[in-house]
Structures are given as C-alpha cells and as structure tokens.
Structure 1
Amino acid sequence: MAELIKLYEEKTDQKQLKRIAKAMREGALVIYPTDTVYGLGCDITNKAAIEKIAQLKGVKSEKANFSFICEDLSNLSEYTSQIDSGTFKILKRNLPGPYTFVLPGNNNLPGIFKKKKTVGIRVPDNNIAIGLVRALGNPIISTSIKDEDEVLEYTTDPSLIHEKWDKLVDFVIDGGAGGNVGSTVIDLTTSEPTLIREGKGSTEL
C-alpha cells in the first residue's frame, strides 16, 4: 500500500524528504510532482527498482527512455560526454525548467543503460522534486505518469493518482494539482537543437 504524503513547495518538509530518500535507496518507488506532470521515480543506483519501473511501463529497461532528474547542472559531467559551450549555455539558460534535454551519455551510466548512447536530463523547477534529489544524493530515474483516458493524457489529481497506483508504488507525494502537459524534449546531440516533442517549455531556446 502506497503512503500518501502531503508536501508544500513553499516550505518542503526536509524530514519527510529524507525519510522517502532513505526508502528509495532501499528500492522504493515514488510518485512525485514536477513543474510539468507527476513523475514516477526511483534511485538511479538501484537496479531492481529501475527494473520494476520498466515492468510497470511495459518496456525493457535497457530500451526505456527514462529521464535523469538532477538537482542542477553539476550532475551533468557524471553521466554525459563532454558538451560544448554552446550546448551548456542552452542548458544554463533554460534549466531549471520544463524541459528534457537529450545529451550524449558516457561510460558512467548505470549498468542497465550501458548500451544507450544518449540520456535525457531534467532539472525541474519544483522545490519538492529538487529537494528529493538533494535528499537522495544522486539523480532520480524518472518517467511520466500516463493515463488511459483519451482526453486527459496525464492524471493531475494526487488523490486519484494514489488510488490508481496504491498497490504498485511505495509513496505518492501530494504536491497539489499537477499539470497535464509534459516537458518539451529537445535533442542536443546534433549540430543544431532538434525538437522531439513540444510540451510546456517554449521551443524558442
């Protein structure tokens, strides 16, 4: 049964975040708010938890396009190949924000992603999400919560999310109503930025 925890972005409860982060290190799955839609995440270093998320999404973990939720740009060199100054300027200008930037991966990627040449990086403009990454001490592997509803692609009500995912995850963080537009996804591995998906973030970089 998932524990539903109410947190406020203006004043996040550090004690609760630390408790959730501790559980994540042990393999817990968490649904949490971002600056776009609610995300489903786990500790990037916990292989079993990543496999569980892949199973829930119905994909093979090594082929899954999960994002890495980072606290800030300091995590970049850990998981991405050297990026040029032009690319770094784009990242610095637009993050934190509602973007997923696809960057070239490096050899430090978790074993499960070793065959992937690229990685999607997110630094959401949301204090709860960033606080959770900070409490964990490393990035969160994350994917959006999709809805079967044909009209609304994403569930925005935390209590409905909790109802639906109650037996599948360990925590649902209620950070208020979520958005129903995903992040804008931009590929920065080519000579010019390439739009993969238009979302909440402006495409004018």
Structure 2
Amino acid sequence: MMVKLYADAPNYKELAEVVQALRDGEVIIYPTCTGYAYACDALQARSVEKICSLKGIDPKKKSLSIMFAGLSDVSEYCRLNDRAFKFIKEHTGNYTFILPAASSLPKIYKNRKEVGVRLASHPVGRLILEELGNPLIVSSLPLSDDDDPEYASDPELIQERFGGQIGCIIDGGIVEIEPSTIVDCTEEPFEIIRLGSGRIDADEPALSRD
C-alpha cells in the first residue's frame, strides 16, 4: 500500500491508518532527511526484529538508530547531560548523535552502552512520530554499490523494489540521499565520527581537536 502524506495538509484518516499499522507491529518505509528508510515502533521488539531480518543484520552486533520527534523525548531513553543537551539543541538538521543508553531503552538495546539518536527533520516523518507518541527504530534501505540510489529516494521506485516486503510505504515526495553527520557525545570533548550534510563549525568548542 502506498500512502501519500503532505505535512502541511495531511489526510488524518490515512495518517491514523499509518500510526495504527505501527502500533500493530508493522514495518513501514517512510521519508527521512537522509532518504527513505525502514521504520517501526521502537517499543515493539518483534517489529525491530523484522527490520533486522529485512536488512540481514544481527542487532547484537550492529546498531540501529532511534528517531525522536524532538529533543525533549530523548532524555526518556538516553542519559543526556547539560553539555550534550545544549550541543544537540544547537545542531538541528541532519545529524546522528551517539549518546549513553538508559535502562528504559527497548529490550533490543539491553546490553548496549550507547545508542545512535536522530531528531526528525523531515516534516512527514515528524508528523508520524508526533501522532504515534513513541520513538521509531529506523534503518536505511539495503542497496548495493551497483544499485541506483533512486531506489532509496523515489517512492515510485521504492514501491517497485520493496513493495513486496512492506505493507505500507509513505510517499513524502522525492528525498535526496544525504548522509548524516555523526557526533559521539558519550564523552567530552565530543568527537566527529563522520562528516555528512549536517554542518559543524570549525570553531565548535565542544568538539575534540584531534
């Protein structure tokens, strides 16, 4: 099923159906600021296992990111000191922040000391998160080096490629694939793990100079 959602004028009936699908444990494909991705309700372990099966990964060995509607929700699942809170608040956009895990995280993160956190910046994705009320586990679509990147950016091509795996694909329009900037905030000074499209100023005082 393909569902077209417009953040500025959403069809709330269809939005409710998407949210109910997530609550029922379904995995969806939806738009993020880094391209389209698998997503599920982070509090449903079986749904997370479905994503791992689709990606062919072991969640005990490979981390999955958690997407939140806003920064105020992050402190419920991660340990967030004042310095990290300020840094994340000042860097809205295309970032992944590595934070110390809290005991309230989903069971699949039970033995993990840290977790990747993202804040929803795509308006359709943020709308879904706000309506769901829970964070989402997200994971990029599995493309090989030989695959056309449009299979993770064009909803029509995504339907063609992945429609047989997924019950619901959210059409939020074309989304360019732009990797996030990853910042490790588990220790100070913070460390840039990967430079992506999220901007980092050269004189940022919270970052390591190594």
TM superposition score normalised by structure 1: 0.91
* Aligned counterpart, 1:143: 139
Distance 1:13-1:197 versus aligned 2 partners, 3 A rule: farther
1:14 is displaced (CA, Å) by 2.7
Say yes or no: does 1:128 pair with 2:131.
Answer: no
Partners of 1:151 and 1:26 lie apart in 2 by 32
Distance 1:37 1:184 in 2: 14
* Equivalent residue in structure 2 for 1:88, among 85, 89, 103: 85
1:44 corresponds to 2:48: no
Cα distance per residue 1:112-158 (max 9 Å; x no partner): 11011111111121221011111111100001124224475562111
Partner of 1:5: 3
Among candidates 157, 164, 167, match of residue 167 of structure 1: 164
1:98 paired with 2:94, answer yes
What's the CA shift for 1:44? 0.8
Tell me which residue corresponds to 2:114: 118
CA separation in 1, counterparts of 2:144 and 2:24?
Answer: 30
> Equivalent residue of 1:31, what SS?
strand
Residue identity matched to 2:86:
K
Cα 1:160/1:153, change in 2 over 3 Å: closer
Instruction: Work out which of the residue numbers 189, 193, 201 in structure 1 matches 2:190.
Output: 193
**Secondary structure of the residue that 1:160 maps to in structure 2?**
helix
Equivalent residue number for residue 33 of structure 1: 31
Larger Rg: 2
TM-score (norm 2): 0.89
Per-residue deviation, 1:161: 0.7
Deviates more, 1:100-109 or 1:189-198: 189-198
Q: Percent identity?
A: 35
Between the two proteins, the alignment pairs up a number of residues equal to 201
Which of 179, 182, 192 is the equivalent residue of 2:179? 182
Gaps (5+ residues) in structure 1? none
Which residue is 1:53 aligned to? 51
| Separation (CA, whole Å) in 2 of partners of 1:137 and 1:103 | 21
Specify the SS of the correspondent of 1:33. Answer: strand
Q: C-alpha distance in 1, partners of 2:184/2:50?
A: 27
Contact 2:67 2:120 in 1 (8 A): yes
Greater relative CO, 1 or 2 (CA 8 Å, sep 6+) = 1
Does the 8 Å CA contact 1:12/1:127 hold for their aligned counterparts? Answer: no
